[in-house]
Structure 1
Amino acid sequence: MYDAIPLDEIRARQEAIRASFGQRGLDAILVVGRSFYDRVGDLAYVSNHFPPFPATVFAGGQRGLGHALLLIPASGPSALLLDGWAYRREMVAADEVEASPDLPALLVAVLKRRGLGGARVGLVGEDILPLAMARALGDALPALELRRADEVVRAMRRIKSPAEQSLLRRAADIAGSGLDAAVGALRGAGAGQAEQLTERAVCAEGIARAMREGADFVRYLRVHAGSWSAVGSRWPQATERPIAPGEVVTLDIIGAYQGYQFDVLRTTVAGPPDVRPAPAHRRLLEAVLEAARRAVAACRPGTPCRDVVQAANGYLEAQGYGPFARTFMGHGIGLETVEEPYLTPDDPTPLAPGMVLCVEPGVYVPDGQAAPGGPPGPVGASIEEEVLVTEGDPEVLTRFPAQLWE
């Protein structure tokens, strides 16, 4: 079964974009997208196309692989420009589709054919348009005026429609299934298994479960134990390092379901259920858990992003963890893992119903330092919830338990 956003909804987005042209003085909008697991959000939102090829070096006649473009003119048919024919026509919302391994040359040809060679074109995706493609446009169409127009699409993307919310709920459930399998593997640490449990073995169990439950892909399941829990590094996602009972372990799973992302993080201790956290580790885990609860409770309409951060970090500071609390404390999520708004101490953006956020307060104590009452570093903990802002109480989309220790 293909459970996706209805194409009529996507076409309605295109019409809403066209309606903004007059006030912006635009003749067309050009939306840039990159590989499905990378920066596809703007393009997928307005076309439902997910470029399947990895973004690749420009060489010879192969220029622009791993990219795609949607041209929406003020009048006339929309055009989806692809790096090749690897797509399903019934799944995309575009009036016309053209493909070429030389994407800059195709774009130039289409703009000329449409009489837009000297037009005012709003660019959505300035930060990912390859410089080589921009140069090709400038050389071939010197009268073309590209104007930054990211906000045309991204303001719409911040508020998730009911259909998007449904997909994000399912994605969060898949993330929970993957974490459940990973935690199940951790419960075997030190339980007499034939071989020592490793980060990689835990990672494999979680990814396999998430894929069986319907994930498009799992970008990574970060399994970091002991001193690695303090690093927050995404690479490598897991190693052959043995996991000992009682060690603090962070589990961070990221992937997608029907294009809509999941990003859920949990921290616990390894070992059978009768293994308890050391007192200093328990204090850390429970402080982060309470900080997450307070941040989630703050996710209400009109609340500035910075106040969500303060709700968590103010509590952590009172517990003595202030110097070690993370300041980038979350982000929006949707067709990309990290979307606007960003939860940072200086972001005044007010929350609005329909926003979906990843709220992830954390504490990372470096080597040689310790909070009052411990634990000494290096050690870290974070708990991440996916939250839908509603007119009333926030809805926590992640139903997998946040407290995984006794």
Structure 2
Amino acid sequence: MEHVKRRAAALELAAEAGVDVLLVTKITHIRYLTGFTGTAGVLLLAPEPVLVVDFRYGAQARQQVEGVEVDGDCAPPRLWATAVDRLTARRAARVGVDTRNLTAEQYLALVSAVGAERLIDCAGLVEGLRAVKDADEIAALTDAAALAEELVRRLPEWLRPGRPENEIAGEIEFAQRHLGAERSAATILVSSGERSTMPHGAASDKPLRMGEPVLVDLSPVVRGYRADITRTFHLGPASPEYRRLHQAVTEAHGEAMAAVRAGVRASAVDAVARKVLARYELDGFFNHSLGHGIGLDQHEPPLLSPYDDTILRAGMVVMIEPGVYVPGVGGTRIEDAVVVTESGCTPLTTSDTGIREL
């Protein structure tokens, strides 16, 4: 029923935009609107919708999708041509497209088939719907977060001097599959010592050493929805300089979470964290955004950054992830998912955010 409601909401917005058929090509949009979990397809969203997939996914789509005609017999190279043929057969006066999700070749073929004058830009239409999560989505995100928390609980068993970062990442991958995750949403990040100053330091063959920080960022997927959590560990006692970094990040994390509520601009939440770090004269070492939306994609609107003035709405799920990365000292980050409410937010991950000295 949720997919039916989502399609109805998308059709209502499309009608307001003057669109007869909304052409949906982004695969996570298609999953959101139909439940199809394959990796290739085109959805013609109209009162009588059609999902075009190639023969690899025909049987799968017919099993997963209800209330949508499935055209699933073409060869993979003919997928786009088949979708365009189905579109032109409808003789729709106005076709909604999001050119950000089309290749240049696809766009030119579409223009040739229906004419540029009949195409209406609908960029952001489905993203706007997806930004506010429904009950099914919150349930999946909550389950993914719980799985991520269990992995964090197990990390001290694996973080031992002499073990390569890659080996730790392998432990995480094996354990999350065993616990029921479909896969990792992103590369598992395990970065130790000076490598912890790399915000996206993918695991390497570097061995863990006593006296070093270890930053771990993991993101298991449950029912298509992603968790995202970062915690910082230290092999042995942390230096006063490193403790100061983590204290600054802890305060920025807490004050930013306290600032989240419906009606607040995304940029305002980001500014709260930067103000805290500026008090410590560490704002110059925080050069990524404070956070992002999360769901079927790892990074979804809104972006908690100085450049996004989106007004937060109840039901959005956003990441709060301040971090500082100081060469010669180390890097530290705390990352948690929260559900925006009218009066504040509800964290999905709540495990200890302090430095964990092992």
1:115 and 2:88 are equivalent in the alignment: no
SS at match of 2:137: helix
**8 Å contact kept, 2:166–2:203:** yes
Equivalent in the alignment of 1:373: none
Structure 1 unaligned residues grouped into runs of 5+: 1-7, 34-39, 53-66, 190-195, 367-375
- Deviation of residue 122 (structure 1)? 0.8
SS at match of 2:180: coil
**8 Å contact kept, 1:180–1:206:** no
Aligned length: 351
SS at match of 1:127: helix
SS at match of 1:220: coil
- Deviation of residue 144 (structure 1)? 6.5
Give the root-mean-square deviation of aligned CA atoms.
Answer: 1.8
Equivalent in the alignment of 2:216: 251
Q: Which amino acid aligns with 1:228?
A: R
Equivalent in the alignment of 1:286: 247
Relative to structure 1, the CA distance from residue 393 to residue 138 in structure 2 (aligned partners, 3 Å threshold; closer, same or farther) is closer
Q: Which amino acid aligns with 1:159?
A: V
**8 Å contact kept, 1:14–1:46:** yes
**8 Å contact kept, 2:183–2:220:** yes
Provide the C-alpha distance between the structure 1 equivalents of 2:324 and 2:35, rounded to a whole number of angstroms. Answer: 38
Could you tell me which of 35, 44, 56 is aligned with 1:48? 35
Could you tell me which of 132, 142, 164 is aligned with 1:169? 142
TM-score of the two chains, using structure 2 as the length reference? 0.92
SS at match of 1:381: strand
Provide the C-alpha distance between the structure 2 equivalents of 1:266 and 1:294, rounded to a whole number of angstroms. Answer: 18
Could you tell me which of 63, 80, 97 is aligned with 2:70? 97
Equivalent in the alignment of 1:62: none
SS at match of 1:250: strand
SS at match of 1:242: coil
1:359 and 2:332 are equivalent in the alignment: no
- Deviation of residue 398 (structure 1)? 0.8
Could you tell me which of 191, 194, 207 is aligned with 1:227? 194
Q: Deviations over 1:175-203 (max 9, x none)?
A: 222233333211x32xxxxxx21101111
Could you tell me which of 84, 104, 128 is aligned with 1:155? 128
Could you tell me which of 209, 212, 236 is aligned with 2:178? 212
- Deviation of residue 151 (structure 1)? 2.8
Provide the C-alpha distance between the structure 2 equivalents of 1:404 and 1:170, rounded to a whole number of angstroms. Answer: 25
Equivalent in the alignment of 1:390: 341
Provide the C-alpha distance between the structure 2 equivalents of 1:345 and 1:153, rounded to a whole number of angstroms. Answer: 24
Q: Which amino acid aligns with 2:127?
A: R
Equivalent in the alignment of 1:399: 350
TM-score of the two chains, using structure 1 as the length reference? 0.82
**8 Å contact kept, 2:88–2:113:** no
- Deviation of residue 279 (structure 1)? 1.4
**Which of structure 1's runs of 4+ aligned residues deviate more than 3 A?**
140-144
Structure 2 unaligned residues grouped into runs of 5+: none
